[in-house]
A and B are shown apart, each in its own frame.
Chain A
Amino acid sequence: DGGITQSPKYLFRKEGQNVTLSCEQNLNHDAMYWYRQDPGQGLRLIYYSQIVNDFQKGDIAEGYSVSREKKESFPLTVTSAQKNPTAFYLCATRSPGGNNEQFFGPGTRLTVL
């Protein structure tokens, strides 16, 4: 059953703590993305990776970090430097070739107390 898994669905952390959000895919897609969604706003790109061991900053990368050690996995760390981390985080992959569609995971809602 192919798809994108994000865990956990809900995550609570205390202010000042780093937290890592998981994203795993078995679609065999090279490109992966992290977006942030806030109420009443569209999705904003945090980081993306086009291939293993390579990633680039998106539009709102400050306070976040990523790694891409395996094709299947693209974890996102929300650091204590992120001033307003409470949000819904969505991971996506992109199919190769001309189709070039993005597929989204179910998301993780992070609440910082």
Chain B
Amino acid sequence: GDSVTQMEGPVTLSEEAFLTINCTYTATGYPSLFWYVQYPGEGLQLLLKATKADDKGSNKGFEATYRKETTSFHLEKGSVQVSDSAVYFCALRGIQGAQKLVFGQGTRLTINP
């Protein structure tokens, strides 16, 4: 079945550092790919998405590119802020059973001032 594997956390960085959170997936065909963010005590918010190969999703300075050849969707940000501290989830929506999202285990990010 479909699955998502994320870089294990927690990740701790200093403010203004470069961020990469790795995400790879296994799925049939061309799934849609998502990054969600969860701030402490809250639900998930969609951060960005890509629906086809080579698409780049971007939002709030975060970017991720859908790489079919490496089945990856790594999240990047050039200069992180303390307010970026949260848990980040990579997810896919497969072409079969298209209603359901499959999530990675989440990566906790802490940014120190």
Query: A: which residues have CB within 8 A of B?
Result: 4, 6, 9, 31, 33, 40-45, 48, 50, 58, 90, 92, 94, 100-107
Contact = CB atoms under 8 A, between A and B. Distances in A.
B57 interface: no
Contacts of B99: 31, 48, 50, 94
Nearest to B1: A59
Given A43-B103, A104-B36, 8 more contacts: A6-B43, A9-B41, A31-B99, A42-B106, A45-B100, A48-B99, A48-B100, A90-B43
Interface of B: 4, 6, 32, 36, 41-46, 49, 89, 91, 93, 98-101, 103-106
A101 B100 contact: no
B91 to A, nearest CB: 8
> Would you call the interface of chain A mostly helix, strand, loop, or mixed?
strand
B98 A100 contact: yes
Nearest to A40: B105
Contacts of A101: 46, 49
Contacts of A43: 44, 89, 101, 103
Nearest to B42: A106
A41 B105 contact: yes
Contacts of A104: 36, 43-45
Contacts of B36: 104
Contacts of B93: 100
A101 B101 CA distance: 10
A12 B4 CA distance: 32
A33 to B, nearest CB: 8
Given A31-B99, A42-B4, A105 B106 contact: no
Given A48-B99, A48-B100, A41 B106 contact: yes
A22 B104 CA distance: 26
A54 B41 CA distance: 30
Nearest to B32: A100
A86 B81 CA distance: 33
B13 to A, nearest CB: 20
A40 B106 contact: yes
